[in-house]
Structure 1
C-alpha cells in the first residue's frame, strides 16, 4: 500500500553514437576508505536501513552474498554478457514505512524495500530505477547497476512498493498497487539525492531515471510528472497504460484467446503482435500471457470474474501461469467506466519534461511495439514534446535478453544498445550533443552481438 501517513509522503502528481565515455570522476570524497563515512548516512523517511562497506558493489563481487539476488535477475540478460567489476563503496539496504509484506528479501517480509549504492569514486551523478515485471530491488543489478557504478554513478533501485504475482492484492482501490509504483520511485529519488549529499557533500549534479518493462513505464511517468527531479531518462520497452487503450488489457486477451483456440494469427497481428515473432509464441504461452493477463485484469478490473481473481487461483505452477477461462473473452472497451478510470489514474500522456530515449525490440512478444512504444512516440509528438524524444527500434530484440541464448540465430540482446543509448543520453544532456535520429538498429550478421551495439552516427537536423 501507499506510504503511511507518518512517512514523508511522495504523492503521484506530478542511455554509441556519441563517443563520449562516462563523466569524469570527481575526487574520491572517501579518501580511498569506503568504510570511513558510512555512519553519517541516514536515508530520509526510511523505517529501517543497513549500511555496509563493500570491496565490490557489482554482481561479480556480490553474487552469493545477501547484497544481491541473482535468481531475481534470471532471464533478463544473455549468459555471455560482459559486466565490469571492482567498484568499492557503500551499499544501503532498507525499506520505507509500508503496510504490505510481499517482499521477503533479507527475511524482512516488508515492502517498499530499496538499495542505494555509493561508489568510492563518484562522478557526480545518480541513476534511479524500479524493478521490472513483478521482481524486486536487485533485479537489474547486472543489466543496469554494474555498468553505471563502473562509470562512477551512484545507483538507487526500489521494489516499487509491492511485487510478485499477487501484487494486485495491495491497496484498497483498483489501480492502487500500480499507483504506488510511481509514488515509491519518486520517494526513493528524493531520499537518494539527500543520501548522496550526506556522503559526498553535495546533491547529484545530474540524475537519470531509467528502467526495463515496468521500469520503463516508471521512467516515462517520472519524466512526465516529476521532471524537476531528473535530467533525462532511458526507457527500455516500457509498458504503456492509456485510459482507453492500447495497453496490456487490449493486446493480451487476444493472445489468451489464441491459446484457447478462439483467435488466429491474423487476430494477433491486428492487435500489434509482429509478423516473424511466431517462433516465440509457444514460450510466451507457457510463461507470460496467461499470468500477466490475470495480474493486470485483477488489478484494474477485480469484479470481472470473482471466481478467478488472479494468479493465486491455482495450486500448481501450470495453473497459476495459465489464464482463466473467461480471460479469452475479455473486452476492455466494453468494461465499465470505473475500470477505465482506474487505468486513467496511472495513464501516460506523452508530456515528458526532460530528454527521453526509448528502445523497443521489434520481436517483443509481451509488449508488442506496435501497440506500445510506437503509440507512445506518437503521444510524445502529439503533445509537442518531440524534440525531447528519440526512439530506437532494435531489430531482433525481444522483451527479455535471456531468450537470445535459446535463439541466437534469430534474436539479439538489447542490453548493449541500452548501454550505448545511455551514453548518448548523457552527451545530450551534459554536452548538448544531438542524438542520432529515430531509427531501426539493424541486427548485425556477425561480430559481438552480445556486448556491442552502435547507434548510427547521424544526428537529427535542427528542429
Structure 2
C-alpha cells in the first residue's frame, strides 16, 4: 500500500535516527590511528605482551639508535665499548618502540637496568617497518645492548625490527650458573631461540603481521650462535651473518686446544724473542704477522678467555678453584698455561660435544673473519668451519670472506691504522649481500681473500 505523507516523514526520521546510531556504532568500533597497524608513532604499543617474559617495560622513543638511547638511558654504552673503530659513522633518527625485559632465570650476573637478573633482552620496532627482523646474541660475555652500535643502529635505519639477548648469562663468571659443564653455553642456544619466537609474536602484535624475513647477525659468540641456529633451528630464519664466530669442536680445534700454547710460550718470546716460543705460538694456529697484537691479547684476552671457558667446560681441572689462577707461570699447580685438552677425561670432550658445531646449516649464511684475528685465528676457526660446511653438504648455502688485516676487535684500529682494517663495514656489506641473495636471488660474491684497499675510507666502506 502506498505510504502517506505522514508515513514518509516518520520513515525518513526513523532512517535518519538509525543512520546516526549506526554511524556512532561504526565510529566506536573503528580503531583510532594509534590502534591501527602503521597508525603513527608507536602505534599499538599498548598491545605488546612479550610471550614468556617475566618482566617487560615498553617505551615510545623519538630515536631507537644509540644517538638517542644513550641520552634517554635505553642502552648501556659499556656493553658495546671497544667493538667499533673511532670515526665509525652511524645512522640516527629512527622513532619507534623499545621493549626491555627478561625471561625467567635463576642466575643474576646481568646488572643492566638495575635488575640483577639474567636472560635480559631488548626489542626495538621502528615506526617505518620494512617487514623484516634481525636477531642477535651478545658477543663475548657482554650484555644485551652489546650489538646496539655495530648492528642495531644500522639495521633499524633500514627498517628492520631488531632484538638482542644477553644469552642467559653474562660477565667473567658466566659459567657459575649452577648448570653442568657446557650448560651455560647451551643456554645461549635456547635464549636466542626463545627471543626469536617471542619477538616474532611482538612484531605481529604491533603490525598485525608476522615478519616476512628473519635474519641472524652476530659477532664472536654471536656469530657462533648464528651458526648454531642455522644448523639446529633453520625453520625460524631466512639466513644469517656470521662475523668471526667461535668454533667448538670436541675433537678440536677449540679455544682450549690453542690458547694454552700461546699463554705458556708468550713470556719467553716477550722476554727474549725466543724463536722456539714464537714458532710454537705460530704452530698453534696464530697468523704470522700478528705478533704486534700479541701483547694486547696476552694481557686482555688469552688468559681470561682460557680460564673462564675452561671452567665452563672442564671445572675439575683446577679442583675447588674458580677459573684457575690469573697469569700463573707454567709449572704452577692447576695453571691453565699447562692445560692439555687432549689429555683430559672423556667427560670434557662430551661437554664440548654438547655445544659443538657441525657445519650442517639449513639456510644461507655468510662468514666474515679477519686474517689477523688473534683471539679466534682463522686457521683454528673460520677456515675449519668452512670445511665443515662443505663436508656436511651445505657448501652451496655458504660464503666465506677472509678480510686482509682485520682483527677480532675493531677498537684496536686506532692504535694500528697502518696495520689493521676494521671489519664492521665488511660485515655490513656482507649482510646486504645476504639479503639480496635471500630475497632477490642475487648470488653473493665468491669465497676468498679480500685484500686491503690501497686508498679509501676503511672505517666506513668495504667492497666484498
Q: Give the TM-score normalised by the residue count of structure 2.
A: 0.88
Shift of the 240–324 alpha-carbon distance from structure 1 to 2, 3 Å rule, reads farther
Q: Does 1:298 align with 2:311?
A: yes
The 5-angstrom pairing of residues 212-223 of structure 1 reads 212-223=219-230
Q: 2:173 aligns with which of 163, 166, 174?
A: 166
Which residue matches 1:9? none
In 2, the alpha carbon distance for the partners of 1:358 and 1:333 equals 28
Equivalent position to 2:462, from 453, 456, 463: 453
Could you list the per-position Cα deviations for residues 318-369 of structure 1 after superposition, in whole angstroms to 9, with x for gaps in the alignment?
89xxx98621111111110000000100000000000000001000000000
Which contiguous aligned blocks of 4+ residues in structure 1 show a shift greater than 6 angstroms?
none
Q: In structure 1, which of residues 263, 274, 279 is the aligned counterpart of residue 287 of structure 2? A: 274
- Verify: 1:228 aligned to 2:235, yes or no: yes
What SS does structure 2 have at the residue aligned with 1:168? coil
How far does residue 310 in structure 1 lie from its aligned partner after superposition? 1.1
Show the 5 A alignment for 1:44-443: 44-261=51-268, 264-306=277-319, 308-310=321-323, 326-443=335-452
CA distance in 1, matches of 2:154, 2:41: 22
What is the aligned partner in structure 2 of residue 16 from structure 1? Answer: none
Secondary structure at 2:134's aligned position in 1? strand
Q: Mark the structure with the bigger radius of gyration.
A: 2
* Structure 1 match to 2:19: none
Partners of 1:356 and 1:140 in 2: CA distance: 19
Distance 1:432 1:339, change over 3 A: same
> 2 CA distance for matches of 1:324 and 1:366?
25
Contact 1:78–1:450, Cα closer than 8 Å, also in 2: yes
| Aligned CA distance change for structure 1 residues 325 and 407 (closer, same or farther; 3 Å) | farther
TM-score (norm 1): 0.89
Alignment partners' CA distance in 2, 1:145 and 1:412: 21
The whole-number CA distance in structure 2 between the counterparts of 1:196 and 1:304 is: 46
CA distance in 2, matches of 1:171, 1:307: 15
Q: More displaced, 60-69 or 353-362? A: 60-69
Deviation at 1:423, TM superposition (A): 0.4
Report SS of the residue matched to 1:257.
helix
Instruction: Supply the distance in 2 between the matched residues of 1:261 and 1:110 (Cα, whole angstroms).
Output: 43
Contact 2:266–2:277 (Cα < 8 Å) also in 1 = no
Tell me how far 1:172 sits from its aligned partner. Answer: 2.6
Structure 1 residues 446 and 333 mapped into 2: Cα distance closer, same or farther (>3 Å)?
same
**Structure 2 stretches lacking a partner, 5+ long:** 1-35, 270-275
Q: Which runs of 5+ in 1 are unaligned?
A: 1-27, 456-463
Q: C-alpha displacement at 1:165, in angstroms? A: 0.1
Q: Matched residues in 2 for 1:182 and 1:271: separation?
A: 29
SS of residue in 1 equivalent to 2:335: helix
Q: Which has the higher contact order (CA 8 A, sep 6+)?
A: 1
Q: Take 1:83 and 1:380, find their aligned partners in 2: how far apart are those partners? A: 33
Distance 2:266 2:162 in 1: 40
SS in 2 for 1:90: strand
Return the structure number with greater helix share: 2
**1:446 to partner: Cα distance:** 1.8
Shift of residue 222, structure 1, vs aligned partner = 0.2
Deviation at 1:383, TM superposition (A): 0.6
Contact map agreement 1:401 1:414 (CA 8 A) in 2: yes
Give the 3-state SS of the residue equivalent to 2:116 in structure 1: coil
When structure 1 is superposed on structure 2, of 301-310 and 189-198 the one drifting more is 301-310
- CA RMSD between the two structures: 1.5
Q: C-alpha separation between the residues in 1 aligned to 2:407 and 2:290?
A: 9
Q: In the TM superposition, what whole-angstrom CA distance separates every residue of 1:70-124 from its partner, at most 9, and x where no partner exists?
A: 1111110001000000000000000000000000111101000000000000000
Q: 1:442: how far off?
A: 1.3
Q: How many residues align?
A: 420
